[in-house]
Amino acid sequence: MSPSGGAAARHAAPVFAALGDTTRLGLVRRLSVEGPLSITRLSEGTGMTRQAVTRHLHALGNARLVRDAKEGREHVFSLDLKRVEVARQYLDQVSAQWDAAAARLKAFVEQDEREASTRSSRRTRW
């Protein structure tokens, strides 16, 4: 991976680490679908306490995936799409590298098959 690829990986790694937990992934999904939500709203239907949801939101906040704003007495959390975009760009970069590697392998195999076919046809002429 290129040096810039290493930097991209360092920027994307905290995002992937935060999203590696199914609960946090669910919170991100809800924020992406429903928009900004309070801890109370995010806790509804999860079977978790608000304190547990808050811990997950802090983990997401540490990865800068969510940000919070105080609205009256409540903290309202929203998704930071810039960080999601960082992760997507990294995945696109890795995908392009894999596609290029697969294309090189395919070309190698096809070249090897052509050479084997040529060798085989030379032997049968003798």
CA torsion sign for 27, 93, 62, 80 is negative
pLDDT at 1 over 50: no
Which amino acid is present at 61?
G
Q: How many other C-beta atoms lie within 10 A of the C-beta of residue 27?
A: 26
Q: Sketch out the chain's domains with CATH numbers.
A: 1-126 (1.10.10.10)
pLDDT of residue 3: 44
Per-residue model confidence (pLDDT) at position 9: 80
What integer is the mean pLDDT of 72-100? 90
Band of pLDDT at residue 5, cut at 50, 70 and 90: low
% of the chain with per-residue pLDDT over 90 = 52
Amino acid 125: pLDDT = 56
CA distance 102 to 109: 10
Q: What is the pLDDT of residues 14-70, one digit of tens each?
A: 888 899 999 999 999 999 999 999 999 999 988 999 999 999 999 999 999 999 999
Residues 87-120 have pLDDT tens digits of: 888 889 989 999 999 999 999 888 888 887 777 7
